[in-house]
Amino acid sequence: MWWRSGRGSVSIARVRFKTITSPAVMALAFIAFAAGYGQFGAVAALGEVATAFGHGIDGHSVAAQAGLSGVVLGGGLAILRLAALGGVALAALSDRWGRRRSLVLWSVVGLGVTVFAAFSPSYWWFVAIFALGRPFLSAAGAITQVAASETESSVHRASALGIVTAGYGLGAGINALTHSLLHGPSMFRLLFLTTVLPLIGLLIAGRWVVESVTTTELAFMKKAGFGHIPHKERSRFATVMVLIFLVSWVSAPASSFIYLYVENVRHLAHGIESVMIVVAALTGLSGLLAGRAVADRWGRRPAVVLGILAIAVMAVVTYSGSTGAAVFGYLAGVFATGWLAPGGTAFTNELFSTEVRAVAAGWGIAAGVLGAAGSLMSFGAIEQAASSFLIAALGSSVLGLVAVAVAMCLPETRGISLVGTLGSMVGQANRPEYL
């Protein structure tokens, strides 16, 4: 089939991209869009899923207002996050199969499985079906970032990663907007059926994806062994994984509980929620542009530090107890997440050599999953014990300070060239492959 043809790997030396809006980058952005749309459905529809499968009781707890307890909801979300651990091996396979083939196959499988979540007969069946497709979409999301970093030279790398990240955010945002427009106790089923649309688009966009690693480098990576990490890079690898774990711990509650919070606790009108989602797209884009500029001018590390601090603060503001604070905190948090994305993804990809990059991205999924799962379980348990979203948010956000300290232990990477990739053939930088 066409995704097995190896298109892009044979003629890679003749490919030249003049702008970050090249067909290859835009195709990667669409794949990220599809992955974002598919993965965000469980978050956007969490309130309706809880209502459809839960039982109303008297009181002011999450269980009373949403239908299922905070522990059950947090446990389901944690399982969905943990399911992404399967993406570790799938992402690492791109070293043997190539970025292009892996991207398309994993995206098709992940979206295809997600469609079947529409037919879930119970809450835990919903969790199980959605969890089955999660590893494939997580791996696809990780590889799009790796491929984007390898496709462009250091001059345009953060911008290309910003476009790909925007694609993922746009997919998640459109999924949330679609959910807000679908009213009814079982309309979440229709939401998951709409995943067929990005699946069809992906089959078309996949034709413009090129192989970002040269055939020579790909052959070298196959000889290095599956999932191999050289001894000289293991210390840095461990540090980066700790950083990803901490950032996920801080950011997970703000993005995973927000729709349930504004719908079932703050009782935000659907019309206002729709406006909030649309405005969030603009604030997210503004954050991407601002974060990209800082990452290119001041460096990757300053952009990462500022982004982490902003996410932690805005998570607390979001759950501080008023509808206005929830809306403002959510919008500002989206800006902060957008800010972190270009510099953060460039940072974690530039810190490793080409033979380690996809493996690191795969283990980055695991670190992010473990951080998010632990945070969601902790957030749900603290909220249930204290009956306060604010106290739960404070508990998770305090680790943002630790994340900043870990980030400061890593070297600045702005301006390096990733040897053995398409980007290194477009334009060479003055710095070595990795520090």
Query: Judging by beta carbons within 10 Å of its beta carbon (0-12, 13-18, 19+), is residue 19 exposed, middle or buried?
Result: exposed
List the one residue out of 184, 113, 182, 171 whose CA is nearest residue 144.
171
φ, ψ dihedrals at 15, nearest 5°: -85, 130
Tell me the three state secondary structure of residue 351.
coil
Query: Judging by beta carbons within 10 Å of its beta carbon (0-12, 13-18, 19+), is residue 415 exposed, middle or buried?
Result: middle
By the 8 A CB rule, do 115 and 195 touch? Answer: yes
Position 241 scores a pLDDT of 94
Position 59 scores a pLDDT of 45
In the numeric block, which tokens belong to residue 125?
A: 């069946």
Answer yes or no: pTM beyond 0.75: no
Fold of 19-426: Growth Hormone; Chain: A; (1.20.1250)
If you count them, how many residues does the chain have?
A: 435
Q: How far is CA 2 from CA 5, 104, 148, 203, 371, in A?
A: 5, 10, 21, 10, 37
Position 247 scores a pLDDT of 94
Average pLDDT of adjacent 10-residue blocks, the chain of 435 residues: 37 42 85 89 66 53 49 72 82 83 91 87 82 89 88 81 86 80 72 89 87 67 64 89 94 77 69 75 88 90 95 89 83 91 88 83 86 83 80 88 94 81 57 48
List the one residue out of 370, 354, 333, 84 whose CA is nearest residue 242.
370
Quote the crossing angle between the two packed helices 300-318 and 399-407, to the nearest 10°: 180
Find the distance separating the first CA and the last CA of the chain, reported in whole Å. 40
* 199-223 burial: b if 16+ Cβ within 10 Å, else e: bebbbebbebbbbbbbeebbeebee
Position 404 scores a pLDDT of 95
CA-to-CA distance for 188 and 194, rounded, in angstroms?
Answer: 10
Tell me the three state secondary structure of residue 431.
strand
Q: How far is CA 294 from CA 58, 242, 309, 344, in A?
A: 50, 23, 15, 11
What residues have CB less than 8 Å from 130, skipping those under 6 apart? Answer: 41, 42, 80, 83, 114, 117
Position 17 scores a pLDDT of 41
List the one residue out of 203, 46, 197 whose CA is nearest residue 115.
197
By the 8 A CB rule, do 420 and 213 touch? Answer: yes
CA-to-CA distance for 376 and 78, rounded, in angstroms?
Answer: 6
